[in-house]
Amino acid sequence: MKRLPIPALLILLAASMTPATAQIADSEPALAPEQTVVSIPSLTPHWSAQAILNQSVDKVAHLTGDEDVIVIQSVSGMVTVLSAQNGREHWSSQVGPAGDASLPAASDPELLAIITGPTVHIYQKFTGDRICSYRLPLQPAASPTLVRREPETAVGKTARWIFIPLIDGSITAYDIDILERLGTLGQLPEDIDVFAGRYDGVDRAEGWRYRIGEEIPYQLIASKNRLALATTAGNVFTAAMFGSDAGSTRFQFLMRSPVSSPAALSVRRAGTPDQAADERLVSTTRDGRIFCVDVNSSGHMYWSRSLGLPVERRMLTLDDELYVINSENNMMRLNVEDGETFPLSQGTGTVASQSESRRGQLRAYGASLEVAVEGLTAFSPFRIANRSTKQQIRVITLDISETEYSFEPLADNPSAANVRALQNSSEQTGLSTIEMSPDQKQITLSFTSFDPDEYLYLGIGLTHPEMKSWEISDDAFVGSEIRALVAPKRTAASVASGATEAFPPSRIIGRLEKITTPWKVQGISKLLAVSSSAVYVEDLFERIIGFHRDTAEPAFLLNGGEFTHKLFNDRTDRVIACTSRGRVVSFAERRMQFGLIPVPCLVGNVWAVGPTAELAIDFARFHRNPGGRPLMPDVPAQDPAAAQQQP
């Protein structure tokens, strides 16, 4: 059964109550309303904050974040770190010389890394304490990647590494503990040869350096044990991050076309603790192809497919779903398992047409009938359209013998079906009679002038021995057969004279089936966030729109033109936006509480289900750690109240 919108659901719940249970007198206030909490696809501002910058001359350059913090970097190099939960400022500081070009920040559970010019700066994420600054041997090609691995034993040491792609087509890896020692003491550890490589006879702080020789245009992807990247030459590489083979190639995958967008890592959780997580790398090419390969194997390809157009924007993965936007601004929802597009159900229907041509009969393309119904049959009309070429429909028979349903008879005439023409379609199509078979499994409609491109809308009542009539959906018609007699359109003169038709009516048959189309939304420029019920995007007019994940129908719209930066949030379900002058707003889905509401009527109060309160917004949903909660340092949501002075 299809999912109903909230207003329709409330009406149906109220209508389904029997008078004995639904009607309650004013003198009986003891009934405790049943409460339900749901999240609906509509955004409400959760918090608003101002980044630290000189608004008269400075503006925002980058907006990044993770589950815990939101990072705002200005053009002058001013960095402001806010709490992702409540917008409170953790710290702000000038990073690097003013005006140095910077790359978007990277973070892990405790550290924040920012590159300005040729220098990488590493800070404590929540306090702003500087860990170290290190000048890179070459200019970086993309933002860094931070990797943190907790020890497997109580006496082990936490591994903290940073990986940076350079413009010469190499990857350099640094142990942050060594960089911290170098920045504090000005010297490398005595056992530096264990960690560092030697280049041109000079000791450097690199843990290892991996040379590819191809341009690396995007940030590196870190899985559990490997680094993955795609080059402009169209090759996918993975390298070991740790161990004796750190910095060595694990596999090379040839895509044979330049990469067109940043790769995405899909982590599908294991079924049991003993099973390893399924980690898949998804990469796209400029010739419109998309590849999905296993990161932890020797380059096994799960699937590939042609999208026809290249994907040029960041992709978002969530469980088995992959959201992509092609160069024509069409957003698609693919299945990570096999690469197929998720289908959208468009109801039930068929197109019946003449299947063959014979001497003396109509051509095959001459007779065609289109039938469709979507939704609950008690509310959705059954639509019949004549798509023939200069042919009239004379008779239509709808046969539901293959289903468990029957046509509902009229209360005052059990031999007639509860079928009625809606709007003015009866007069337009010349509907003359409606007949029902004795077993209530067939209805036959006769017409006098059902011409091409005319529509007939029917309200059809169905019955089922175990289902209420208003709960029956279009699925009831799946497997039903529709037959029609179609003949050339008769002239007024031939009708008046009673002349015999040159061509007798032709019989066409179709069987109703579920209609599905690929999940696709047009006019999208950027992905913003995905919640449990909706996917939030920015369209070509800079508006923030929420679409239902299951139906792709729009559910929310907000004019976001004032926000010049909108966060690509693949970590949580929050929508984060920022103006050029540093005003940051976090949007969250509304959470409503529903209960019984008294509705006055002539016989007293009738209780209906409706919204009773809007609840406080809970923690964000963590996509990479379902059920997780943000690291909450000692930063209050509000300033503490000033102590009252004693007189």
Question: What DSSP element (H or E) covers 10?
Answer: helix 6-16
Residue-wise pLDDT tens digits, 282-303: 999 999 999 999 999 888 999 9
Query: Position of tokens 């044990």?
Result: 225
Cβ distance 205 to 196 under 8 Å? yes
The predicted structure's pLDDT at residue 120: 96
pLDDT in tens, 92-122: 999 999 888 999 999 999 999 999 999 999 9
CA 22 to chain centre: 39
DSSP secondary structure, 320-357, as one string: TEEEEEBTTSEEEEEETTT-PBPEEEEEEEEEEE----
- Looking at the chain, the number of H-run helices and the number of E-run strands are 6, 49
Q: Please, are residues 112 and 128 in contact by the beta-carbon 8 Å criterion?
A: no
What's residue 364's pLDDT?
Answer: 46
Given pLDDT bands bounded at 50, 70 and 90, which one contains residue 22? Answer: very low
Where does 459-571 have alpha helices with state H?
Answer: 492-497
Amino acid at 340: E
Q: Exposed e or buried b for every residue in 482-512, given b needs 16+ CB within 10 A? A: bbbbbbbeeeeeeeeeeeeeeeebbebbbeb
Beta carbons of 58 and 74 less than 8 angstroms apart? yes
Q: How high is the pLDDT of residue 645?
A: 45
pLDDT band for position 646 (50/70/90)? very low
Q: How far apart are CA 534 and CA 544, in angstroms?
A: 12
pLDDT, tens digit, 9 for 90 and up, residues 229-262: 999 999 999 999 988 888 889 999 999 999 999 9
Indicate whether 36 pLDDT > 60. yes
Residue pair 72/90 in contact (Cβ under 8 Å)? The answer is no
Q: What is the pLDDT of residues 158-202, one digit of tens each?
A: 889 999 999 999 999 999 998 998 877 666 665 554 444 443 334
List all residues 6 or more positions away from 366 whose beta carbon is below 8 Å from its beta carbon.
354, 388, 389, 390, 391, 486, 506
Say what the pLDDT of residue 595 is. 77
Helix (H, G, I), strand (E, B) or coil at 182: helix
Q: What is the pLDDT of residue 609?
A: 73
Mean pLDDT of all residues in 558-582: 95
Q: Identify the residue with better confidence: 316 or 25.
A: 316
Q: Is the pLDDT assigned to residue 580 strictly greater than 50?
A: yes
Mean pLDDT of the chain: 84
Question: Does residue 351 surpass a pLDDT of 70?
Answer: yes
Q: How far apart are CA 501 and CA 494, in angstroms?
A: 8
- Rounded distance, CA 342 to CA 322, Å? 10
Considering 16-25, 410-419, 501-510, the range whose residues carry the highest mean pLDDT is 410-419
pLDDT at 72: 98
> What CA–CA distance (Å, rounded) separates 103 from 121?
11
Tens-place pLDDT, residues 454-500: 999 999 999 999 999 989 999 999 999 999 999 887 665 555 555 54
- Greater pLDDT, 28 or 427: 427
Query: Which residues, listed in sequence order, are joined to residue 42 by a DSSP beta bridge?
Result: none
Q: For residue range 217-231, what is the model confidence (pLDDT) as tens digits?
A: 999 999 988 999 999
Predicted model pTM: 0.78
Residue pair 137/212 in contact by the 8 Å Cβ criterion: no
Closest listed residue to residue 43, CA positions, set 524, 521, 519, 529: 529
Three-state SS for 102?
strand
How far is the CA of 115 from the CAs of 93, 162, 227, in angstroms?
A: 14, 12, 20
What pLDDT is stored for residue 403 in this prediction? 94
Which domains, ranges and CATH numbers included, belong to the chain? 61-168+170-211 (2.40.128.630), 349-517 (2.60.40)
Q: Could you tell me the strand order of the sheet in which 69-74 lies?
A: 60-65, 69-74, 78-83, 89-94
Q: Give all strands (DSSP E) within 245-329, no chain letters.
A: 249-254, 264-268, 278-284, 289-294, 301-306, 316-318, 321-325
Q: How confident is the model at residue 601 (pLDDT cuts 50, 70, 90)?
A: confident
Q: Quick one: what percent of the chain has pLDDT higher than 70? A: 82
pLDDT of res. 559 = 93
**Which pLDDT value is given to residue 15?**
38
Residues sharing a CB contact under 8 Å with residue 439, sequence separation 6 or more, in sequence order: 401, 406
Contact 243, 206 (CB under 8 A): no
pLDDT band at 643 (very low <50, low <70, confident <90, very high): very low
Q: Is pLDDT of 271 > 60?
A: no
CA distance 143 to 102: 9
